[in-house]
Amino acid sequence: MQSPSTLCVASASTQPVEHGWAYLPVDLLESIIALSGSFRDLLAFAATCRSWRAAFSSYPSKSSFCAKFPPLLAQFNVRVQGPDLPSNNGRHELYTCKVIDPMNKNVALRCQIPLEIYQDTHFVGTSYGQLICYCVGYCLLVDVFSGAEVSAPRLPFNHNFDGRYFSGTLTAPLASPNSHLLVCTVNSLFDWSVGSKSWSKLQLPNACIIQIVKFKGQFIAMDDCCNIYTLQLSPQLGLQKVTTELAEYSLAHVDSWLVVCGDMLLMVRVHPYLSVVKCIPYHLDISTNPAKWVEVKQLDDWALFVGGDVRSQPFSCMSPERWGGSSKRLYYAGRHSFVLHGLGDELDPSSGYEYKRNSFSELQPLWVYPSMFYSDIQ
């Protein structure tokens, strides 16, 4: 039986579980969950039997594993053989893709999404384990690992727009009562309270929002000129520009993106050269007026993860050495595997140049955490 959000483990055993294991006390099962050393352990635990799956579902701190373990690399460009399993609604053929766990690169993992999502929609973002896609006036939320779909109401604008110019994010997990889907188009921001029947719209006269992140309980937006805004959802949708300073702010054609790194909000500016990639993180210092972006020379004890599509969600992970990773590194989601680049003053360790971020019409490799690990977030 496939749970609402299940990452398939290609090497998983199909042997029956001893009858008595299903009746272990909940507190003992929770202690086993807490000691899990990888996502694979957690996924195998949840797949053991119904009572163990229920214990995992009710575990109060599942989202803590997203800070403990690195994200998974979903390679939508690599199709693999998978079992003949229906998606949750039982109506679609599934597209089975390769997944890489940086902790266990040799373990065969896979994810499954409806084939029509891969072929007929435009990708506009990832958030809380969901793909956000656009097709003919509608936005779809698709669970990366189960293929379960949720459709939003029709967007209130001229639907001849090319979906490649959209970006989208969720403000909370899909099942949360506080979840909103935010979709940004050229000069407009749309807000759908999940489950409602209509969108709210905010006209943006001189801005195209390209990214929205949640930082210390507040939503921070960045436009295509690297201007920063605070975003409010109620009592009405609104943006407030934050005045900031940044050395070399006028540099053109530099890839810039936001990522939350513990108690820091970072903007990473990537300068591609002929043979190396220079990744410079800046920390937003709000103790000054105006606020300042301060260059971080050494990003000690942290690793960052970013995908090739500018609308895929970046991540950070503290103390990557505990799972065999490296600090002061940028993990780029490459087409064949992940590629490491240096951060700040760290030398670039990559033997071959691979770093390209753009808005693509087809799904690109991206980093993601399974939605089942966010179900305790409200």
Residue 153 preceded by cis peptide, ω within 30: no
The mean pLDDT of the chain is: 84
Query: In angstroms, what CA-CA distances link 170 with 182, 199, 248, 313?
Result: 6, 14, 32, 11
180 neighbors 165 (Cβ within 8 angstroms): no
Is residue 24 pLDDT above 90, yes or no?
Answer: no
CA 121, CA 207: separation in Å to the nearest integer? 25
CA 347, CA 285: separation in Å to the nearest integer? 26
What is the pTM for the complete model shown? 0.88
Average pLDDT over residues 52-70: 86
Asked which of 77-81, 197-201, 278-282, 350-354 is least confident by mean pLDDT, the reply is 350-354
Average pLDDT over residues 74-93: 66
Residue 33 backbone phi and psi in degrees, to 5: -60, -45
113 neighbors 147 (Cβ within 8 angstroms): yes
* pLDDT score for 5: 41
Nearest 10 degrees: CA dihedral of 206, 209, 210, 213? 150
Q: Which residues contact 97 (CB under 8 A, 6 or more apart)?
A: 74, 75, 76, 77, 78, 79, 80, 110, 111, 112, 113
* pLDDT score for 373: 87
CA 374, CA 165: separation in Å to the nearest integer? 28
For the chain, give every domain's residue range: 23-60, 61-373
Encode pLDDT of 125-143 as tens digits: 999 999 999 988 889 999 9
Q: In this predicted model, which residue has the larger pLDDT, 17 or 335?
A: 335
Q: How confident is the model at residue 317 (pLDDT cuts 50, 70, 90)?
A: very high
* pLDDT score for 164: 60
DSSP 62: G
Asked which of 147-151, 156-160, 247-251 is least confident by mean pLDDT, the reply is 247-251
* CATH 2.40.230 corresponds to the domain 61-373: no
Which residues does residue 126 pair with via DSSP β-bridges, in sequence order?
131
Nearest CA to 112 among 74, 66, 163? 74
Nearest 10 degrees: CA dihedral of 285, 289, 295, 299? -10
Written as one string, the DSSP assignment of 162-182 is -GGG-EEEESS-TTSTT-EEE
Query: Quick one: tokens of 103?
Result: 């902790």
* pLDDT score for 13: 45
Q: Other C-beta atoms within 10 Å of 56: how many?
A: 24
Which residue is associated with the tokens 């053989």? 81
* pLDDT score for 219: 95
